[in-house]
Amino acid sequence: MRKFSFLALLLLLSFGSLASAAKFVLSPVTMSLNPAEALSTSTTLTNGDTVPVEFTAELLLWTQENGKDVLVPTRDAVVSPMRFKVAPGKSQVIRLALRNAPRNPSATYRLILRQQLNAPVATDQKMTITPRYVFSLPLFVERPEARAQVSLTAQRLPGGAQLVFSNSGTGYAVYRSVVVGATEKSVPLGNVYVLPGSTVTLPLPPELLGASTLNFSGVDAAAQEMKVTLHVP
Walking along the chain (233 residues) 10 residues at a time, the average pLDDT comes out as 40 36 87 97 96 96 94 96 97 98 96 86 58 93 96 94 97 97 92 97 92 96 95 94
Boundaries of domain holding 86: 4-142
pTM: 0.83
Res 19: pLDDT:
36
> In this structure, are residues 4 and 70 in contact, taking their beta carbons and an 8 Å threshold?
yes
State whether 158 and 203 are in the same domain.
yes
- What is the C-alpha to C-alpha distance for residues 201 and 166, in angstroms, rounded to an integer? 9
Of 142, 171, 193, the domain-final residue: 142
State whether 108 and 161 are in the same domain.
no
19: exposed, middle or buried (Cβ count in 10 Å: 0-12, 13-18, 19+)? exposed
- What is the C-alpha to C-alpha distance for residues 223 and 174, in angstroms, rounded to an integer? 10
Mean pLDDT, the chain, rounded, equals 88
Number of domains in the chain: 2
State whether 93 and 162 are in the same domain.
no
Where b means 16+ CB within 10 Å and e means fewer, 32-65 reads ebebeeebebebebebeeeeebebebbbbbbbbe
- What is the C-alpha to C-alpha distance for residues 66 and 64, in angstroms, rounded to an integer? 7
Residue 183 amino acid letter: T
Q: At a CB cut-off of 8 Å and minimum separation 6, what does 7 contact?
A: 68, 69
Read off the CATH number of the domain in which 33 is found.
2.60.40.10
